[in-house]
Structure 1
């Protein structure tokens, strides 16, 4: 089927929107160039077509317009209707607006739909989008764990469903789907009685969404991913090697320093704030880091403490890190905790000479509120990362 107006994509984060652009770009290439089915994943050669490097201070939309014009039919021949369902936090909304501008420059039809922030917003959004969902022949989903997205899938009649990465959550999504479990974010703990009552009341919707996302005789399901996942029977797994990002941006200018990548594990209640501060301080000293790229969900108070304790320059990116790093300037070494970027940056920065390193999370850093799944999930994120450098154990400070 040709991606067109009959393709409806829903995104709730900047990374999801980036990955919809990657998917649409892959659909506009020749079938042999759309990336292999995942299994043994070969590294794609660096694309060296001449694309002017945007200035370091240029905006996302400007960069997209000046970082090279695609050849005719390369990724822009098949526009997608993209519905942005923004969260309420300002950083995410700002990045989404920038990404929406880039998507429009690529020729896509982008619609901004408020679905949060008020008692009646979800119902209004469902009413506004229901007809489009019923008519769509293909639906692209950015976050299958989202309750609002699950509600939208109830009236869906699409014969094709595509799930694009929402970070490492894709790994857990496919695993839970294969085990027949209800879809639940890996960092969520059991919750109280009221939470369990809500889960039971919502179970019919969740169950129906899970069936919609499971391949069947009349339903094709594709997962477009950079993550190492094992496909279910009948599921098509397609590699996202960030070909669109590499075609539009960079290669970046490299600095001599090391950049650290922040994580929101403190904000989600998984990692103790003091242990995280100790870890960042140790990594800064050991690797001579000078910049800290903050996750969009990191709190201003936490970032201020990090800056005062380490002297790091705190950078709050206005686009997903894959685009920021590819646009440059960027350090020759990027150090991250277990997170999405240890899987995506090696693709986005392929051939640039940048080393991506990952620092394990010491189990002693986990809070009492962390889910039972947190330890094994974080270890799995690191263990399955390709083309990254594992830091020695002493890089992670001991508890205390």
Structure 2
């Protein structure tokens, strides 16, 4: 462990854009800098569901003694300029930067301003696995579901910023980089410190949950990101629910209202819109004895958050026939890797859909 990586005296500035990122900053602070506060900057998105969860998580962060700075970072054309201008002083004073999404163009732009010598990347779901691999290989920082697609005008415009961010996130001289992750890290970049994330804060603060006899299902945004066909996805959900006796469907915050309405009508599942990240919802309970999921972050995080309980996590493979024509060439292998590398889960074969 780097002597300074856990130094509680460093002026720490954290940037988050999602509830899960904020949760993982709290987990990092609990594990690596216990008893000290940090300044947590929320670069708020426009999606109402995400904003609601972020508000709830911000309340928890304040109760832990952290300062929360809410930025309407996407509230109009001038919002980015106001946000970056208002953060410049704090960025230059910070000794350590903690970030939840190194793929974010916003975060990449902010990294060009900071002078911090300690950089920490906390989990942003399965994207962390791709980030580590790309950093180790010196590749362009591109989200897995877009990898292989042709760069658009915005990609070309931000290419210099992305290259600068990749250099900043590469250890050099007295610049240290830590990755705090619950994901399986198979290819560690040279000089990078990897710290295992066990959801100790979540287990200390919540639960254990009351466990019901039925099964719950976890939704994904694979349809919304253009990876999986909507009809095939609904067929698979219907089949899984019928086979395993699932009664509730915990929606992903990015799932569309139209898809969720159709899902409720066609499957009979009760659609639940969580007000906190699923790891906290499950730990707080009640929760089904079996949790069904497709390849996603939760197949790695829920076994940790629910450690010590008798809840079983079952993950269903994605049939290649479900992928859309717009899915990147990387999608099939990446989704299979997410499932195959998960620990303490029961693996289900892809269900046969009517499509």
TM-score higher than 0.5 = yes
What is the DSSP-based 3-state SS (H/G/I as helix, E as strand, rest coil) of the residue aligned with 2:145? coil
RMSD in angstroms over aligned alpha carbons?
A: 1.3
Q: Contact 1:186–1:374 (CA<8 Å) still a contact in 2? A: yes
Structure 2 CA distance for aligned equivalents of residues 385 and 224 of structure 1: 17
Question: Which residue is 2:55 aligned to?
Answer: 97
Structure 1 CA distance for aligned equivalents of residues 250 and 16 of structure 2: 23
The within-5 A match list for 1:133-212 is: 133-188=91-146, 196-212=152-168
Do residues 396 (structure 1) and 318 (structure 2) align?
no
Q: Contact 2:223–2:233 (CA<8 Å) still a contact in 1? A: yes
Do residues 82 (structure 1) and 82 (structure 2) align?
no
Structure 1 CA distance for aligned equivalents of residues 321 and 354 of structure 2: 6
TM value normalised by structure 2: 0.96
Q: Contact 1:4–1:79 (CA<8 Å) still a contact in 2? A: no
Do residues 293 (structure 1) and 250 (structure 2) align?
yes
Structure 1 CA distance for aligned equivalents of residues 295 and 245 of structure 2: 20
Give, in angstroms, the shift of residue 264 of structure 1: 0.3
Structure 2 CA distance for aligned equivalents of residues 352 and 189 of structure 1: 37
What is the DSSP-based 3-state SS (H/G/I as helix, E as strand, rest coil) of the residue aligned with 1:20? helix
Q: Contact 2:62–2:68 (CA<8 Å) still a contact in 1? A: yes
- After TM superposition, the runs of 4+ consecutive aligned structure 1 residues lying more than 6 A away are none
Q: Contact 2:238–2:267 (CA<8 Å) still a contact in 1? A: yes
Structure 1 CA distance for aligned equivalents of residues 147 and 338 of structure 2: 19
Q: Gaps spanning 5+ residues in structure 1: where?
A: 29-74
Q: Deviations over 1:19-69 (max 9, x none)?
A: 0000000024xxxxxxxxxxxxxxxxxxxxxxxxxxxxxxxxxxxxxxxxx
Question: Which residue is 1:222 aligned to?
Answer: 178
What is the DSSP-based 3-state SS (H/G/I as helix, E as strand, rest coil) of the residue aligned with 1:145? coil
Give, in angstroms, the shift of residue 117 of structure 1: 2.9
The within-5 A match list for 1:23-34 is: 23-28=28-33
Question: Which residue is 1:40 aligned to?
Answer: none
Give, in angstroms, the shift of residue 379 of structure 1: 0.5
Q: Gaps spanning 5+ residues in structure 2: where?
A: none
Q: Deviations over 1:339-373 (max 9, x none)?
A: 00000000000011100010000010000011111
Q: Contact 1:187–1:370 (CA<8 Å) still a contact in 2? A: yes
What is the DSSP-based 3-state SS (H/G/I as helix, E as strand, rest coil) of the residue aligned with 2:146? coil
Give, in angstroms, the shift of residue 135 of structure 1: 1.0
Give, in angstroms, the shift of residue 121 of structure 1: 0.7
Structure 2 CA distance for aligned equivalents of residues 241 and 121 of structure 1: 36
TM value normalised by structure 1: 0.85
Which of 187, 193, 196 matches 1:239? 196
How many residues end up aligned between the 2 structures? 349
> Would the alpha carbon gap of residues 218 and 359 (structure 1) be closer, same or farther in structure 2, given more than 3 Å must change?
same
Q: Which has the higher contact order (CA 8 A, sep 6+)?
A: 1
Q: Contact 1:261–1:336 (CA<8 Å) still a contact in 2? A: yes
Structure 1 CA distance for aligned equivalents of residues 87 and 130 of structure 2: 28
